[in-house]
Amino acid sequence: MTGNGNAGTLLLGAAPIGRAEDASVRLRAALADAGIIAAEDTRRLRRLASDLGVELNARVVSYYDQNERARAEELLGELLDGRDVLVITDAGMPGVSDPGYRLVRAAVAENVPITVLPGPSAVTTALVVSGLPTDRFCFEGFPPRKPGERARRLEALATEPRTMVFFESPRRLAVTLAAMAEAFGAGRPAAVCRELTKTYEEIRRGPLGELASWADDDVRGEITVVVGGAPEPEGLSDPADLAAAVAVRESAGTPRKQAIVEVAKENGLPKRTVYDAVVNARR
């Protein structure tokens, strides 16, 4: 499908995740030449431009989570009127856990030309420095804030075989790592990447249980968490065998709920699978 010949071009610019000098040559040129820039934080944009020695001649508008829907409609109108729009977030690529997706979808629907100015990414930077497998991975964004929703989301990922990449707030890091240790097992390998590419960059690698204990010491900065995928199951899989393993623990005095959790972790299975096996066996 050919583009809308009368429309402007939507440019998605990847911003540095730490050091300004990581900005691409194309991003510098786009900042200098742009007529309209939609920025997640206009103050950070002006600071970046100053650090890069770029003079902004564009009309700068704010474009953040709370105004994304309304602003996307406005920016689409500019594009349809033939004006180019550069979208830039605080760090990394627009649309990846940052504003941009709605505008891209609207531009696609109207056949507006879209181009990307590639550059730094916290996702791939953390992935390659984690030391965990990189051949297959998935990005899971920010885990849910509410404990129940977070637990359900992580439990659903317990058997995910690919390396997983998450973003997290430093304020919630300790509870999230503890929830991951509960869902994936305390021994699952992981890495916490803090302040990537910045002066105080820190990479902590180890089992989830150890990282959860470390995170209790008031960790600060931008955080990316990388967690190894589920290993190939080597234990029980037959429902009757799973129910029998739970029964053995119950007979030794372990509460049923705890026994189900233990059997699930030992065999690399979701708790729901073991629970269903126990219920069906009792029927």
Instruction: Give the model confidence (pLDDT) of 147-181 as tens digits.
Output: 999 999 999 999 899 999 999 999 999 999 999 99
| Assigned domain for 5 exists | no
The answer to whether residues 154 and 75 belong to one domain is no
| Span 169-227, pLDDT tens digits | 999 999 999 999 999 988 999 999 999 999 999 999 999 999 999 998 788 899 999 99
Residue ending a domain, among 103, 120, 137, is: 120
- Which strand ranges, in their side-by-side order, compose the sheet holding 163-168? 137-141, 163-168, 223-227, 189-194, 202-207
State residue 207's pLDDT score.
95
Q: Identify the domain boundary among 101, 120, 139.
A: 120
Q: Report the pLDDT value the prediction gives residue 2, as an integer from 0 to 100.
A: 58
Name the domain count of the chain.
3
Residues 25 and 66 in one domain: yes
Q: Can you give the CATH number for the domain in which 42 is found?
A: 3.40.1010.10
- 195/95 same-domain check: no
User: What is residue 191's predicted lDDT score, i.e. its pLDDT?
Assistant: 98
Residue 111 lies in a domain: yes
In a domain, 199, yes or no: yes
pLDDT of 3 over the 70 cut: no
Sorted by sequence, the CB contacts under 8 Å of residue 117 that are 6+ apart come out as 11, 12, 13, 14, 24, 26, 27, 30
Same domain, yes or no: 212 and 141: yes
- Rounded mean pLDDT of 44-66? 95
Report pTM: 0.80
The strand ranges marked E within 63-213 are: 85-88, 114-117, 137-141, 163-168, 189-194, 202-207
Question: What is the domain extent for residue 128?
Answer: 123-227
The pLDDT value given to residue 236:
73
Task: Kindly report the average pLDDT of the chain as a whole number.
Answer: 92
Domain containing 160 — which CATH number?
3.30.950.10
Task: Tell me whether residue 183 is in a domain.
Answer: yes
Within-domain flag for 116: yes
Indicate whether 1 pLDDT > 60. no
